Amino acid sequence: MIAAVTFDFWDTLAIDDSDEPKRAALNLPSKAEARVQLFVNRVTALHPHISRERAAEAYQRANQRFREDWHNNHRTPSVVTRLYYAYEYLGLEPAPGQYARLVREVDELAREIEAMEIRIQPDFVPGLHQTLQALSQEYRLGIISDTIHTHGRGLRYLLQRQGVLQYFSCFIFSDEVGASKPSPEIFRRAAVSLGFNPWNIVHVGDREENDVVGPRSIGMRAILFTGIVDRGSSRTRAHAVCRDFRQLPDIIRRLR
């Protein structure tokens, strides 16, 4: 019997990069460009001996190191950690007695980047409110999401602004638990938090490796969601495919 439902966040509940056209309409750079600009402006202002080109290169190197951690080690280091990667590449080690100043400098920059990520609300999937309300009457609901630039606090904020935070009783974000999908650890954490055996939980997400193979590895059921983007549903190992978020209650009922 299915007693709980967990969801991926990006391209399942919220449409990834749907805020980019809104930024363009406001004559704002893309988020990727804005991150680099924030980093370069702050670092070169505080450390004039570093060129803008070298600062930009350091940030790209930090991104590369992040991706290696994410894909190879199933971890998503925080924005703060990513900034320390860049500082390390630039050789910006704290001088004796200056460690607190460097920590403050990195923390302030991380807050700027994190705030920029959530300043403009992304679009959410059609039928979000009605579907979550209906599901919450029958199941406990949770979120299992990797955090790349928007940390767990930021995703909670977006859910709260959208008016759906109250439907969820479990939040498993990779920056908070030290593991990312498809690691079995992140799905076990969700099962423990929800208080059910894995086989009593169905996970809904858009990526085969992360949201189908991952939950199935510990005995959870999986629904591949293709309502925003279809990443190969013809070859999926999911127990079901959902093409419209509003169909979820019926699909889960059939799985029971």
Does 106 lie in the same domain as 170? no
Mean pLDDT of 20-36: 96
Tokens 């005995």 locate to 219
Residue 239 has pLDDT above 80, yes or no: yes
Residue 86 has pLDDT above 80, yes or no: yes
Which is more confidently placed, 218 or 73?
A: 218
Does 10 lie in the same domain as 58? no
Does 131 lie in the same domain as 111? no
Two structure tokens written together for 255: 């799985």
Write down the pLDDT at residue 148: 87
Q: Report whether 83 contacts 62 (CB < 8 A).
A: yes
- Tell me the whole-structure pTM to 2 decimals: 0.91
Residue 94 has pLDDT above 80, yes or no: no
Number of compact structural domains in the chain: 2
Write down the pLDDT at residue 14: 97
Residue 23 has pLDDT above 80, yes or no: yes
Let me know how long the chain is. Answer: 256
In eight-state DSSP terms, residue 99 is H
Write down the pLDDT at residue 60: 96
Give the end of a domain, one of 93, 117, 141: 117
Mean pLDDT of 40-47: 95
Write down the pLDDT at residue 98: 73
**The Cα angle at residue 243 between residues 134 and 20, in degrees rounded to 5:** 95
- Give how far the C-alpha of residue 187 lies from the chain's centroid of Cα atoms, to the nearest Å: 15
Give the end of a domain, one of 71, 86, 117: 117
Residue 105 has pLDDT above 80, yes or no: yes
Full domain range(s) for residue 51: 19-117
Q: Report whether 40 contacts 55 (CB < 8 A).
A: yes
Does 25 lie in the same domain as 12? no
Does 244 lie in the same domain as 147? yes
CA distances (Å), origin 237, targets 63, 148, 210: 31, 26, 12
Does 92 lie in the same domain as 141? no
Does 12 lie in the same domain as 25? no
Does 148 lie in the same domain as 240? yes
Give the end of a domain, one of 88, 117, 146: 117
CATH of the domain at 250: 3.40.50.1000
Contact residues for 92 (Cβ-Cβ < 8 A; gap 6+): 43, 47, 50, 102
Does 172 lie in the same domain as 228? yes
Q: What is the pLDDT of residues 132-188, one digit of tens each?
A: 999 999 999 999 999 988 889 999 999 999 999 999 999 999 999 989 999 999 999
Residue percentage of the chain with pLDDT more than 70: 99
Q: What is the Cα–Cα distance from 227 to 117, expressed in whole angstroms?
A: 24
Residue 127 has pLDDT above 80, yes or no: yes
Does 135 lie in the same domain as 12? yes
Write down the pLDDT at residue 93: 78
Residue of 211, 216, 245 lying closest to 231 (CA atoms): 211
Does 235 lie in the same domain as 148? yes
Residue 113 has pLDDT above 80, yes or no: yes
Does 54 lie in the same domain as 35? yes
Write down the pLDDT at residue 100: 84
CA distances (Å), origin 242, targets 34, 96, 106, 110, 233: 35, 57, 42, 37, 10
Q: Report whether 19 contacts 118 (CB < 8 A).
A: no
Q: What is the Cα–Cα distance from 118 to 155, expressed in whole angstroms?
A: 8
Two structure tokens written together for 105: 């400098």
